[in-house]
Amino acid sequence: MQTKEDAKFRAEKLRKLIDDLRFRYHVLDDPTVTDEIYDSLTRELVGIESQFPDLKTADSPTQRVGGEPLKEFQQVKHVSPMLSLTDVFDEQELKNWENRIFRLASEKEIKESGFYCEIKMDGLAISLIYENGILIQAATRGNGQIGEDVTENVKTIQSIPLKLREDSTFYTANRIEVRGEVYMPKKSFEKMNVDRKIKGEVMFANPRNAAAGSIRQLDSKITAKRKLAFMAYSLLGIETEKLTFHEQEHLIAKDLGFPVNTHNQFCEDLKCIENYFERMEKERPKLPYQIDGIVININDENLFKKLGTIGKAPRGAVAYKWPAEEATTIVEDIQVSVGRTGVLTPIAFLRPVLVAGSTVSRATLHNEDELRKKDIRIGDTVVIHKAGDVIPEVEKVLIELRTGKEKEFNFPKTCPECGGKVVREAGKAAYRCENKDCFVVRQRSLQHFVSKAAFDMEGLGPKIINKLFEEKLISDPADLFKLKKSDLEHLERFAEKSSENLINSIQSKKKIEFPRFIYALGIPNVGEETAFDLAKRYKSIDELKNASLEDIQNIRDIGPIVAKSIYEYFQDPQNQDFIDRLLKAGVDIEIVTQSGKLAGKTFVFTGGLENLSRDQAKEKVRLLGGDISESVGKDTSFIVAGKDPGSKLEKAKKLGVEILDEDHFLNLIK
């Protein structure tokens, strides 16, 4: 753990950076980082201040709710403060929130109330004041107590009524206040950014920033062009006898002429809330506006009031959010890992941090060029990005937090595994261990050889592979086929039965389809896709071995770097010898003929499939002689559009490519 001295120093740096970021966001409307990074840094500061409370300062960014009102706007004091919400990120935190309420209210009260769940719109909060049914003032939240008068700008938003509907049962000439979210629909946001790009203007980072920037314009003509929208979520000033449940505020607001969210829903318990949360997560990409979670309100207004506030947030409501896809953390070390082709990959060892729902403690830094370009040093504070299940990436360094003690990483001159010489070839990004006998390289290439997409041999885990090497029973994958039961039986923990199983498993895989064989060779830069392309172009391993560089380069989807890598692989006498030995050992390559019913057809996939995985779908197409491409072009025969298709579909439509939905695709491959 850090010393108090370190913590003090770090807290000062964090405070300065957070305050700069806040100023850029709230005052200049020109943020340089995402909200998630801002939150991540603030969380670290909160952590330090709670560990060392006397380090807390009165002006610490942890001591405030919102931004400062812009001086160009009239200031407005809110009749009742515009609060913020406490965030929870998982089931347990939600449960803790409920438990806190249980301590302050009886079970009966909570049961009778239930919860009203709403979508948490990602825009900015606005307060609208109506007198005699007419909109007389609109204000931003500002710092919660004092906001900015943005009435003229708000009047340009078509979904905000300038007067209340007089035929509403709830119409009142009294002063009422409607609060809700001003947001920019995704479509308007995209269109606006395209226009801005064409004009060479700075683009907005996300719809929320765009909405905030648009509402805080000094010229309301600009706001009018920005296509903002509004959704109401609370009402103040309605007579209490008409209002017992929060849910009713939405109904009344709707009746008075305000848009309210149609996805909102009453829930009686946490189970229902969890379901709602999961449903909305699926719904999220399809919604025409951005949301970042759900809001859960104690439905009974009186109970809500009774629960009061804690800090700047009501106890009776909570924001349940999806985990951030970005977070900040510290690079504690950088080490290299040696891969199956001898390439040394730098890996960042990180202070563990929660990103998109899982803890990240290491991330690949790819190669030296990448590392230098991002200038990542040991001790740096970095932004980690992880979308869903995708591998986490170090996005950038927060240079502002450097202390001067960070250390640059230099590649080792010798292999950390075998001590062999390490070189970086001219024109290549990678450092490579030159030692052809490097133990780790041999071990990893064997692992690759037996892996699922290659020879698919069961029972050959890393421990057994090590043992076989140690006992000098094998020196490369070709030796596997020569193994006999008697070689294994004397090995520790190798009973007769398991020796037999392993030998059988190896022998049963001698017959192998050509693409798998090519993939198994472990040619640098050749994945399954490229192996398929090669197997289609060449009729035998001999033909492939003798192919010229030009010929390989002419294959669609194979670029010059990959082509060179393939060509060089087959030129190396050691590799030629390896292939000969595999064939001599009885490996039987099966050539698949291209006469399937999809021969000559190229498929592109976009969006998720429900009945089979993307990989299964691709394999089916290939088995029927078809081709797969990652991008849509003139020669694309079909685009298979699953759920939530991406931009490929738009391109396909423009080019007039035939579009198949999942059902039609399944029919085709039946």
CA angle 153, 215, 317 (to 5 degrees): 115
CB atoms within 10 A of CB 573: 7
Q: Is 121 in the site for ligand IVH (CB under 6 A)?
A: yes
Do 33 and 383 contact (CB within 8 A), yes or no?
Answer: yes
| Pairing of the two strands 588-590 and 75-77 | unpaired
Looking at residues 631 to 660 of the shown chain, list those that interact with ligand IVH (rule: CB under 6 A): none
CA angle 349, 11, 23 (to 5 degrees): 105
Tell me which stretch binds ligand IVH (CB under 6 A): 118-126, 148-156, 273-281, 653-661: 118-126
Query: Which of 44, 49, 118, 380 is close enough to bind ligand IVH by CB under 6 A?
Result: 118
Instruction: With residue 75 as reference, give the H or E element that holds it.
Output: strand 75-77
| Token pair recorded at residue 242 | 């008409």
CB atoms within 10 A of CB 612: 15
Looking at residues 212 to 241 of the shown chain, list those that interact with ligand IVH (rule: CB under 6 A): 233
CA distance 130 to 79: 13
Query: Which of 75, 84, 168, 248 is close enough to bind ligand IVH by CB under 6 A?
Result: 84
- Angle between helix 270-283 and helix 91-104 axes, rounded to 10 deg: 140
CA distance 275 to 273: 5
Tell me which stretch binds ligand IVH (CB under 6 A): 41-49, 83-91, 355-363, 391-399: 83-91
Comparing CB distances to ligand IVH, the nearer of 317 and 384 is 317
Q: Is 319 in the site for ligand IVH (CB under 6 A)?
A: yes
Comparing CB distances to ligand IVH, the nearer of 235 and 474 is 235
Comparing CB distances to ligand IVH, the nearer of 181 and 417 is 181
CA distance 296 to 95: 12
Smallest distance from ligand IVH to CB 269, Å: 20
Strand positions, DSSP E, 379-467: 381-385, 393-397, 422-424, 431-433
| Token pair recorded at residue 543 | 């033909």
Question: If binding means CB under 6 A, how many residues of this protein chain bind ligand IVH?
Answer: 14
CA distance 553 to 572: 19
Q: Is 481 in the site for ligand IVH (CB under 6 A)?
A: no
Smallest distance from ligand IVH to CB 191, Å: 23
Query: Which of 22, 26, 120, 620 is close enough to bind ligand IVH by CB under 6 A?
Result: 120
Helix count (H) and strand count (E) of the chain?
Answer: 25, 26
Comparing CB distances to ligand IVH, the nearer of 118 and 406 is 118
Tell me which stretch binds ligand IVH (CB under 6 A): 129-137, 312-320, 366-374, 642-650: 312-320
Tell me which stretch binds ligand IVH (CB under 6 A): 120-128, 208-216, 221-229, 609-617: 120-128
Smallest distance from ligand IVH to CB 83, Å: 4
| Pairing of the two strands 176-183 and 229-236 | antiparallel
Q: Which residues are annotated as a binding site for Zn(2+)?
A: 415, 418, 433, 438
Instruction: With residue 85 as reference, give the H or E element that holds it.
Output: none
Smallest distance from ligand IVH to CB 250, Å: 9
Q: Which residues are annotated as a binding site for NAD(+)?
A: 35-39, 84-85, 118, 141, 181, 321
Comparing CB distances to ligand IVH, the nearer of 84 and 594 is 84
CA distance 396 to 383: 5
Comparing CB distances to ligand IVH, the nearer of 98 and 487 is 98
Which residue's Cβ lies closest to ligand IVH? 125
CA distance 59 to 62: 8
Q: Is 249 in the site for ligand IVH (CB under 6 A)?
A: no
Looking at residues 122 to 151 of the shown chain, list those that interact with ligand IVH (rule: CB under 6 A): 125, 141
Tell me which stretch binds ligand IVH (CB under 6 A): 82-90, 158-166, 457-465, 491-499: 82-90
Q: Is 295 in the site for ligand IVH (CB under 6 A)?
A: yes
CA distance 429 to 431: 7
Spot the catalytic one: 13, 120, 536, 620.
Answer: 120
Q: Which residues are annotated as a binding site?
A: 35-39, 84-85, 118, 141, 181, 321, 415, 418, 433, 438
Comparing CB distances to ligand IVH, the nearer of 31 and 133 is 31
Tell me which stretch binds ligand IVH (CB under 6 A): 203-211, 314-322, 355-363, 506-514: 314-322
Contacts of 151 (CB under 8 A, 6+ apart): 135, 136, 137, 138, 139
Comparing CB distances to ligand IVH, the nearer of 208 and 622 is 208
Smallest distance from ligand IVH to CB 528, Å: 44
Do 319 and 293 contact (CB within 8 A), yes or no?
Answer: yes
| Token pair recorded at residue 264 | 């909102």
Burial of 359 (0-12, 13-18, 19+ CB in 10 A): exposed
Residue 317 phi/psi, 5-degree rounding, is: -145, 155
**Is 536 noted as a catalytic residue in this protein?**
no
255 three-state secondary structure: helix
Smallest distance from ligand IVH to CB 121, Å: 4
Here's the x/- map for ligand IVH, 178-207, by CB under 6 A: it reads as ---x--------------------------
Do 398 and 404 contact (CB within 8 A), yes or no?
Answer: no
Smallest distance from ligand IVH to CB 453, Å: 45
| Pairing of the two strands 638-641 and 602-606 | parallel
Smallest distance from ligand IVH to CB 343, Å: 46
DSSP string, 535-575: HHH-SSHHHHHT--HHHHHTSTT--HHHHHHHHHHHH-HHH
Q: Is 176 in the site for ligand IVH (CB under 6 A)?
A: no
Q: Is 417 in the site for ligand IVH (CB under 6 A)?
A: no
Comparing CB distances to ligand IVH, the nearer of 246 and 536 is 246
Strand positions, DSSP E, 277-416: 291-298, 309-310, 313-314, 317-321, 326-338, 343-355, 358-364, 381-385, 393-397
The identity of residue 187, as a single letter, is K
**Which of 121, 118, 137 minimizes the C-alpha distance to 129?**
137
Smallest distance from ligand IVH to CB 379, Å: 34
Smallest distance from ligand IVH to CB 249, Å: 10
Query: Which of 21, 37, 76, 85 is close enough to bind ligand IVH by CB under 6 A?
Result: 85
Comparing CB distances to ligand IVH, the nearer of 317 and 441 is 317
Comparing CB distances to ligand IVH, the nearer of 133 and 316 is 316
CA distance 583 to 586: 5
Query: Which of 7, 46, 70, 83 is close enough to bind ligand IVH by CB under 6 A?
Result: 83
Smallest distance from ligand IVH to CB 125, Å: 3
* Residues in contact with ligand IVH by the rule CB under 6 A: 83-85, 118, 120-121, 125, 141, 181, 233, 295, 314, 317, 319
* Residues catalogued as catalytic: 120
